[in-house]
Amino acid sequence: MVFIILGAGFEEVEAITPYDVLSRGGVSVCFVSASNEKLVAGAHGISIQADFIASDVHPAGRDAVVVPGGMGGVKSISASASACELIRSIDSENGIVAAICAGPSVLAGLGLIEGHNITCYPGCEHMMHGARCHSDRAVVTDGRIITGRAPGAAMDFSLALLETIAGEDSAAGVRRDLVY
């Protein structure tokens, strides 16, 4: 299962695009609210009804987690003990940890990207404590950590995530079907 965590003020394209691409690739995916409310408002007026509240999620096996950007969303996720515990749990089980835009700052705050190659929104590099930032690249995959630069990289980020989870053929098939 892939858990996409939503905090109030999340960047909509960075949450919806991975959900759509992964679903098209046959991957089980769900939205998880970082708060106690399932309806989560995005940064640009689009609200999403989450499938779960973070405190109710108990990952098992090799799950994955996605942290979208949007400064409001990042602050909401960072302030949520249950969302942070979900991310830590997936990381400790050797699951895939992915974040885009300002989202990698949540991973930095949890000490998960120190020494890793990442990308992030240009200007957020100072928030990526101990990571090697490559903000000139749309997507960076470093082992189980996948990062995307900004909203404009949402499709490339999502396809890289799908390729890591379901394989090159699955990602190529979705890319072809989307005419991307």
Closest CA to 165 of 57, 27, 6, 67: 27
Closest CA to 61 of 85, 32, 92: 92
Q: What is the mean pLDDT of each run of 10 residues along the chain (180 residues)?
A: 98 98 98 98 98 94 94 98 97 97 98 98 95 97 98 98 98 98
φ and ψ at residue 27, rounded to 5 degrees:
-95, 140
If phi over 0 gives left and psi between -120 and 50 gives alpha, with beta otherwise, what is residue 130?
A: left
149 neighbors 139 (Cβ within 8 angstroms): yes
DSSP-assigned beta bridge partners for residue 169: none
- For residues 117 and 140, what is the distance between their CA atoms, to the nearest angstrom? 7
- For residues 71 and 48, what is the distance between their CA atoms, to the nearest angstrom? 17
The predicted pLDDT at position 135 comes to 93
What Cα–Cα distance (Å) separates residue 12 from each residue in 15, 54, 94, 124? 5, 19, 27, 19
Active-site residue 101, yes or no? Answer: yes
Q: Would you say how long the chain is, in residues? A: 180
Place of tokens 């096996």: 61
Which pTM was predicted?
Answer: 0.97
The predicted pLDDT at position 62 comes to 82
The predicted pLDDT at position 87 comes to 97
The predicted pLDDT at position 159 comes to 98
- For residues 84 and 5, what is the distance between their CA atoms, to the nearest angstrom? 10
The predicted pLDDT at position 115 comes to 97
Q: Which of 30, 84, 101, 120 is catalytic?
A: 101
φ and ψ at residue 132, rounded to 5 degrees:
-95, 105
Could you tell me the fold of the domain covering 2-172? Rossmann fold (3.40.50)
In the chain, domain spans: 2-172
- For residues 162 and 159, what is the distance between their CA atoms, to the nearest angstrom? 5
The predicted pLDDT at position 179 comes to 98
